[in-house]
Amino acid sequence: MSLLELRNLRVEFPTRRGTLVALDDVSFSIAPGEVLGVVGESGAGKSMTGAAIIGLLEPPGRIAGGQILLEGRRIDNLRYDDMRRIRGKQIGAIFQDPLTTLNPLYTVGRQLVETITTHLPLNPAQARARAIEWLERVGIPAAAQRIDSYPHEFSGGMRQRVVIALALCAEPKLIVADEPTTALDVSIQAQVIALLKGLARDQGTAMMLVTHDMGVIAETADRVAVMYAGRIAEIGPVREVVKQARHPYSAGLMASIPPMDRRVDKLAAIEGSMPRLSAIPQGCAYNPRCPRVFSRCMVERPDLIPAGPTDAACWLYAPGAPA
Amino acid sequence: MFAFIISRILQALPVMLVVSFISFAMFAYVGDPVSIMLGQDFTEAQRTELVASLGLDKPFFVQFLTFLGNAVQGEFGLSYRLSRPVAELIGERAPATLELALCAAFIAMAVGVPMGVYTGLYRNSWLSRFFLTFSLIGVSLPTFLIGILLILTFAVWLGWLPSFGRGDVRPLGFWATGFTTWSGVKALILPAVTLGLFQLTLIMRLVRAEMLEVMRTDYIKFARARGLSNRAINFGHALKNTLVPVITIAGLQLGAIIAFAIVTETVFQWPGMGLLFIQSVGAADIPVMAAYLMLIALVFVVINLIVDLLYYAVDPRLRTRR
């Protein structure tokens, strides 16, 4: 059984000028211990998917359809307090900017201890010992002394390590990591990703890794989901998607990674930009930008269909497509 | 920490000096205490004698230095109006004002902060809208009107509470307190509510605005993602982050309550320093007015020092910066 399963998830934002559909028919699953990378342009719905899973959509956003299942049990319709018990304990979360995700007025130790005692049956002294253990595991030097430091006394990279410890300290089965390295120095990014990957592997924790960075995905993820305009464009094993993407959008994304082995005069880019949620074209949302667009794409919206080793939401892989 | 306190005290000295100079200079040219003290019939000899006995014939700066030298020793001379030592007069009146001001401040904090937290957390609820409307009244109605309306309601119509005075007062050492008698407590309620109402609504609106701001931050979102209880998030993480601006305003407002209790004290005939000051203004009683102003300046300086120290207690980022 998969650990997490999304079935036809739909998230809407009611606004004064009509309802915006931020996520439409998003389905995927994550197996225990698996790392699913989620990529796409800004506004494609990557972070929104993460927020929906941990039950923290910003109002007025709401789940308007579909289901989210954790170990076969629906969690999208739980009451706030029941979902609260799942957050942190079953599903941990890591946010983008470590400079703002820690409360500046409390020591990192206090924040760790309160998280641990909220979810695990430990007394404060045991929780503190556990907190020191976690700070050591995420690579904070002299953890026993540093536990009483305040967030501002740590560098950005060290703070993200603390955030990782906070997300993992109640030993959740799934981590939703929303651009965990975007705000960090490039030199630190690789370290933090390696740490996250290592800890997840040791704990058997599954991970949904949202990022812009294809390099991070290629190195870390088992499978990857490419999102476009609130839908999944393609999902499949990471090697297949990176090497030979089936969906023209994923292919364009991969082609826009600059090659390391030769000089190029001009970086490849996908023409145009993603449509706004209020102006998604009829048919396939990618049709205005797609180099391989044909008549059916302008009329019908494609669902995910098998396209070799991956699934792609593209009519090119349906019977009767032009060669 | 110790060095910080010393440096703040040294900074306060010029402030006090300037205040004393201004208050003395201002009053030295405002009104003529001599003619008021002498009344209608007097001879020129009587007048000269009185001027000399008050030291008013000396040059301005000599008068000021004498005043300052005495003030440092807690000696503010005799009241022209009552012919009693000023320090004694203020000492008699201070407990009344301080009890009133502290009660008003307590009401403002004890009611204003929870109301602010509530309206910040549940901003669309019916009760929040009611609180906000109510706070508009508190902010916009002048104190004397609120006082009079309260007197009308609770003293005249309902007859529950006295409309003026301090009730029975018992000495507690050098401090004459109204807390120990039932009539003293009853007499305190209306003026304290009157004085505290504006501060209450101000603090409520401030806490609300700060709460709305803090609830949007990433660390609150992350605290939710960690599965902390609402109680821990609202009152631990969020409220503490609203405290720095609240402490600043509350400190300044406490000073303001003490200094500007004058209106409330007048409305309720509360025998405090404000009433003493108003009566002294009427009689151009310079020593009392000067001493009062200096006392108020001192109160502000001390409160600001305490506020600065509280910042250090609340925000660890300030502690490491120096």
Minimal C-alpha gap between B37 and chain A (Å): 60
3-state secondary structure chain A: CCCEEEEEEEEEEEECCEEEEEEEEEEEEECCCCEEEEECCCCCCHHHHHHHHCCCCCCCCEEEEEEEEECCEECCCCCHHHHHHHECCCEEEECCCHHHHCCCCCCHHHHHHHHHHHHCCCCHHHHHHHHHHHHHHCCCCCHHHHCCCCHHHCCHHHHHHHHHHHHHCCCCCEEEEECCCCCCCHHHHHHHHHHHHHHHHHHCCEEEEECCCHHHHHHHCCEEEEEECCEEEEEEEHHHHHHCCCCHHHHHHHHCCCCCCCCCCCCCCCCCCCCCHHHCCCCCCCCCCCCCCCHHHHCCCCCCEEECCEEECCHHHCCCCCC
* Higher pLDDT, residue A290 or B5: A290
Give residues with Cβ within 8 angstroms of B102, minimum separation 6.
none
Which of A126-140, B10-24, B238-252 has the highest mean predicted lDDT (pLDDT)?
A: A126-140
Q: Token pair for residue A45?
A: 């719905």
Mean pLDDT of B183-197: 84
Q: Which residues of A touch B215 (CB under 8 A)?
A: none
- B222 to chain A, any CB pair closer than 8 A? The answer is yes
The pairing of beta strand A4-15 with beta strand A18-30: antiparallel
Nearest Cα of chain A lies from the Cα of B315 at a distance, in angstroms, of: 6
**pLDDT computed for residue A109 by the predictor:** 92
Q: Identify the closest residue of chain B to A57 by CA–CA distance.
A: B221
Q: How far apart are CA A154 and CA A138, in angstroms?
A: 13
d(CA A105, CA B220): 12
- Please state, as a whole number, how many other Cβ atoms lie within 10 Å of the Cβ of residue B60: 11
Q: Tell me how far CA of residue B2 lies from CA of B7, B29, B298, in angstroms.
A: 9, 41, 20
Could you say which of A85, A93, A100 has the minimum Cβ distance to residue B217? Answer: A100
Q: What is the pLDDT of residue A51?
A: 92
Q: Kindly state the tokens that stand for B77.
A: 């001379």
Mark out chain A residues that contact chain B at CB-CB < 8 A: 54, 56, 80, 84-89, 92-93, 95, 97, 100-107, 114-115, 118-119, 150, 152-153, 163, 166-167, 170
For testing the chain B interface, which of A56, A101, A118 should be mutated: the one with the most B CBs within 10 Å?
A101
List of residues 6+ apart from A298 with CB closer than 8 A: A282, A283, A284, A287
C-alpha distance from A15 to closest chain B C-alpha (Å): 17
How much is the pLDDT for B30? 66
Q: Which residues of A touch B240 (CB under 8 A)?
A: 105-106
Measured between beta carbons, the chain B residues lying within 8 angstroms of A54 are 225
pLDDT higher than threshold 80 for residue B11: yes
Taking CB atoms and an 8 Å limit, are A102 and B219 in contact across chains?
Answer: yes
Which of A92, A93, A114 lies closest to B228 in CB terms?
A114
> In terms of pLDDT, which residue wins out, A226 or B175?
A226
Contact between residue B262 and residue B275 where contact means Cβ atoms under 8 Å apart: yes
Lowest mean pLDDT among A215-219, B94-98, B162-166: B162-166
Q: How far is CA A235 from CA A31, A84, B240, in A?
A: 14, 30, 44
Contact A166, A190 (CB under 8 A): no
Smallest CA–CA separation between B131 and chain A, in Å? Answer: 23
Peptide bond into A288 cis (omega under 30): no
First to last CA, chain B: 10
Q: Which amino acid is at B130?
A: F
Kindly tell me if the per-residue pLDDT of B322 is higher than 70. Answer: no
What interhelical angle do B286-314 and B273-282 show, nearest 10?
150
Please indicate if any CB of chain A lies within 8 Å of the CB of B231. no
Q: Which residues of A touch B219 (CB under 8 A)?
A: 100-104
Rounded Cα gap, residues A44 and A24, in angstroms: 11
- Which of A84, A105, A166 comes nearest B241 by C-beta? A105
Token digits of residue A217: 């995905």
Residues in B closer than 8 angstroms to A115, CB to CB, are 226-228
B42 against B158, higher pLDDT: B158
Residue A4, Cβ density class (10 Å: 0-12 exposed, 13-18 middle, ≥19 buried): buried
**Chain A residues with beta carbon closer than 8 angstroms to that of B236:** 114
CA atoms in the 13 A half-sphere facing the CB of A166? 32
CA distance A20 to A276: 10
Which residue type is seen at B198?
Answer: F
The answer to whether the CB atoms of B227 and A93 lie below 8 A apart is no
DSSP state of B171: E
pLDDT of the residue at B320: 65
Residues of chain A contacting residue B221, judged by C-beta atoms under 8 Å apart: 56, 95, 101
Provide the pLDDT for residue A243: 86
For A102, nearest residue in chain B (alpha carbons)? B219
> Is the pLDDT at B300 greater than 60, yes or no?
yes
CA nearest to B196, candidates B154, B253, B123, B241: B253
Q: Are B86 and B288 in contact (CB under 8 A)?
A: yes
Q: Which residue has the tokens 């407990």?
A: B95
pLDDT at A52: 92
CB-based contact B229 A152, cutoff 8 Å: no
Measured CA to CA, the distance from residue B224 to residue A248 in angstroms comes to 38
Q: pLDDT tens track of chain A, all 323 residues? A: 789 999 999 999 998 888 888 999 999 999 998 999 999 888 888 889 999 999 988 888 899 999 999 998 999 888 988 999 999 899 999 988 888 999 999 999 999 999 999 999 999 999 999 999 999 989 899 989 999 999 999 988 899 999 999 999 998 999 999 988 888 888 888 888 888 888 888 888 999 999 888 888 888 899 999 999 999 999 999 998 888 889 999 988 888 887 778 887 887 788 888 888 888 888 899 988 888 888 888 988 999 988 888 999 999 988 877 76
> Which residue, B219, B244, B243, B247, is CA-closest to B233?
B219
| Interface predicted TM-score of the whole assembly (ipTM), two decimals | 0.89
Structural domains in chain B, CATH included, are: 86-321 (1.10.3720.10)
pTM of the model: 0.81
Residue B11, H or E segment: helix B2-28
- A68 has which bridge partners? A6
pLDDT at A117: 93
Q: Please, are residues A225 and A232 in contact by the beta-carbon 8 Å criterion?
A: yes
Residue B28's pLDDT is 67
Average pLDDT, whole number, for chain B? 83
Query: What does the CA dihedral B266, B271, B274, B276 come to, rounded to 10 degrees?
Result: 110
Closest Cα of chain A to B287: distance in Å?
Answer: 47
Report chain A residues whose CB lies below 8 A from the CB of B317: 104, 150, 152
Is beta strand A174-178 parallel, antiparallel or unpaired with respect to A91-94? parallel
A34 in Cβ contact with A223 (< 8 Å) = yes
Nearest CA in chain A to B238: A103
Cβ contact B222–A163 (<8 Å): yes
Cβ distance A115 to B227 less than 8 Å, yes or no, reads yes
